[in-house]
Amino acid sequence: MRLLATTALIALTALPAVAQDWKTDYRIVRFGILSGENEADRIARYEPMVAYLKEKLGVDIEIFSAGNYDGVVQALAAGQIEFSWLGPSAYAAAWTETNGGVVPLFTSQQNDDSVGYYSVVATRCDAGYNTIDDLKGKTMAFADPDSASGYTVPYYNLHAQGYVPEEFFGAVPFSGSHEAGIMGVVNGQFDGAATHWTNETAGNIQRMVSKDMIKEGDVCIVWTSPLIMASPFTARTNLPAGLIEDMKKVMMAMPTDAPEVFKQVSGGEASTSKAYVPVTHEQYQILIDMRNWFKANRRS
C-alpha cells in the first residue's frame, strides 16, 4: 500500500459556500480507489478528480491506492483515509470491519436511469464455450475476494444455481483484478473469468477494448448475474458532519460543474453514467447478507 499525492496545477476559483471548521483538522483529505484496473491507469483516471476536489474544497487531496481491495477496506477501518470509492461487496466488508463505521453517500446513475450493473462470466469467443455448463472442469478465475461482481455475487449465485465452484470447475484462482482476469482469458491462462458489465457499451470489457488492451470480439459472455446495486462513494462516520456534507455536495455537482472530469472518473469513452444519486445503507444490505452466508459456509 502507498499514498500518492497529486498536486493540481490549476488556479483556485470561487469556492462554494461550505463550512470551514473541519479544515482546521483536515488540511489533507484522502480517498481510496480499488484495484480493478492496473495502477497506472487507475491513478491517471482519478487525477482530474483530485484537481477538482482541491479547487472546490480548498484543501490538499491525496489518492490512496492498494494492491487489493482489502488494503483499501483496512485503510478505512484504521482511519488512514476519509473517503473511498468501494464496490458493493467491499462496502459490505468495510461496514462489517468497522462495526457500521462507514456510510454510503452516492453512486452513479446510467443514461437509462438505472443504478446497477451485473457480474458476467467471460470466455474467449473462439474457445467454443456457450454456457456455464461448458466450463465444467475448466479454470474459472475470480477477481478479488472483496469484489462484488468479481467474486461475491457470481460465486453466491452460481452456488445457488447448483454450480458449486470448487466442485464444478477444475480450478478457481483469484486473478487479482478485473483486467488481469480478462487478460488471462485472452492469453489462455484462464478458461473463464468473472468481471463487471453495465450494458452493451459500458463495463470492464468495453473499457479494456477502448484502452487497446484487448480487441473487440476477443471475449464473449456465457453467464450473467442478477442486478447488483452500483458502487458507493463511502465515508467514515466519525468524520465531521461538515466534511461529509461538503464532499457530498461538490462530488454530486461534478457531473454538471466538471463534465469532462466526471466522464473520465466514470470510465472515459466507454462510460454511460450521467449523474450521481444518493444511496442508503439498506440498499447494500444484501451484500452483507451474502458475506455472512460465506462465513457460515466456511465454518460448516
pLDDT at 299: 58
Residue 176 has pLDDT above 90, yes or no: yes
Kindly report the CATH number assigned to the domain that includes residue 221.
3.40.190.10
Query: Is 222 in the same domain as 263?
Result: no
Segment 19-37 shows an average pLDDT of 85
In sequence order, what are the residues at sequence separation of 6 or more whose Cβ sits closer than 8 angstroms to the Cβ of residue 25?
A: 240
96 grid coordinates: 462489517
In degrees to the nearest 10, what's the CA dihedral of 165, 169, 173, 175? Answer: -100
For residue range 272-281, what is the model confidence (pLDDT) as tens digits? 899 999 999 9
Burial call 36-47: b when 16+ CB within 10 Å, e when fewer? bbeeeebbebbb
Shared-domain flag, residues 145 and 218: yes
Q: Which of 35, 34, 36, 18 is nearest to 26 (CA)?
A: 18
pLDDT per position as a tens digit, 134-155? 999 999 999 999 999 999 999 9
Helices (H) and strands (E) in the chain, counts: 10, 13
Q: What is the pTM of this model?
A: 0.81
Predicted pLDDT at 7: 32
Spatial distance between the Cα atoms of 186 and 144, rounded to a whole number of angstroms: 19
Whether residue 98 sits in one domain with residue 16: yes
Residues 6+ away with beta carbon under 8 Å from 289: none
pLDDT reported for residue 95: 97
Structural domain boundaries, residue 72: 2-112+230-299
Where does a domain end: 204, 228, 252? 228
